[in-house]
Amino acid sequence: MHIFIDNSPVDLTIGIDHFSFEISKDRSNQGFYGIKNIPVDPSIHVIHFQHSDNGIRYGYWFESDISEYLQFKYSAQEEIFVPSVPSDDQEANSYYNKFQELNYLMLGYPSIDEGDTWYTLTRYLKWKELVHISENKKCNRQLIYVDSSMTTREENTLLSKVLKTRNKDTEQEIIIPSAEPILNYTPIVFKSVAAMRSDHKTEDYLDKSWYLKNVILQQYHYNSMRSLFGELQFALLNAVFFGNYGS
C-alpha cells in the first residue's frame, strides 16, 4: 500500500506504526508527498498525526490490503487530516498515475527492525474485533479513527451514574452525548456481582480465574484468549500513540 499526504498548513508530526517524523509547513510542499511500500504482513497498521507539541493526537487504523492506495487531505473545517480510498476503477487509475509521478518524493516505509517489533505488537489484532471496539461515525469499516480525547463506554456509564446521583433531587435530565466516538472495551469489574458466585465469594474475591473464564471470555470474547489479548494490545497501542487515558 502507498499513502498520499497532502500539504499541511501547520507544522506536523506524522507517525506510521511505531515510527514517526516531523514535517515543517514551510517544507511540506518541497519533497514529501506520503509514505510508500507499507507491508501487507502484518496487515494492520496505524497512521497518526499531531499538529503541535501540545495538540491533540489523532489517527486512523487500517488494513494495508484494503486498497493499493490511500490518501489524506487536510480539512480546514474539521482541522484534521481526513482519509479517502479509491471508490472505483477510474479513481484507482488516477491514484496509480499520481504514484508514478510522485513515487520518488514519497518516504519508504522504514525497514522492519531485527526484532520485528510491529509484528509482535500486533500479533493478536483482528480487524473485525477492532471495528467492534471502535464502532463510531468516523469508523467506516475500512479505517478506524482514534484520538487522545476519546472516552470508553465504561467511563461514560460511570459518569452518567455520578451525574444522576448528584442531580437526583432535581428534575433536570442528565444526557451523556451518544454521537461522540467511543472505545467499547470489555467492562472488567472485579468486585461486581457478576465476578463473584454467591456460594464462592471468598474464593472468587481472591482468585479471578472463574470470572475470566466464565464471564469475560465467554460473554465478550467467544471463549478466545487470543481475542482478549488482541483487545489488550489495541488498548496498549492507543495509550502509547494517542495518549488515550481510557485505554
Strands 69-75 and 2-5: parallel
Residue owning grid cell 476503477: 89
What pLDDT score was predicted for residue 115?
63
The enclosing H or E element of 155 equals: helix 153-166
CB 241 within 8 A of CB 121: no
What pLDDT score was predicted for residue 88?
85
Nearest to residue 85, comparing CAs of 73, 102, 97, 100? 73
What pLDDT score was predicted for residue 138?
58
What pLDDT score was predicted for residue 21?
86
Per-residue pLDDT of the chain (247 residues; tens, 9 = 90+): 999 998 777 888 999 999 988 887 765 555 788 999 999 888 999 999 998 777 789 999 999 988 889 999 998 888 899 998 888 888 889 989 999 998 888 889 987 665 678 989 999 999 999 998 986 555 566 899 999 988 887 777 776 676 667 666 555 555 555 566 788 999 888 888 888 888 888 888 888 889 999 999 999 999 999 999 999 999 999 999 998 888 8
Q: Would you call 126 exposed, middle or buried from its count of C-beta atoms within 10 A (0-12, 13-18, 19+)?
A: middle
Residue owning grid cell 500539504: 7
What pLDDT score was predicted for residue 168?
64
Q: Would you call 182 exposed, middle or buried from its count of C-beta atoms within 10 A (0-12, 13-18, 19+)?
A: buried
What pLDDT score was predicted for residue 41?
86
Quote the distance between the C-alpha of residue 194 and its chain's center.
Answer: 29
What pLDDT score was predicted for residue 26?
66
CB 5 within 8 A of CB 33: yes
What pLDDT score was predicted for residue 92?
87
Nearest to residue 64, comparing CAs of 91, 49, 46, 43? 43
Q: How far apart are CA 80 and CA 190, in angstroms?
A: 38
What pLDDT score was predicted for residue 70?
93
In this structure, what are the phi and psi dihedrals at residue 16, rounded to the nearest 5 degrees?
-125, 115
In this structure, what are the phi and psi dihedrals at residue 223, rounded to the nearest 5 degrees?
60, 30
Q: How far apart are CA 94 and CA 71, in angstroms?
A: 12
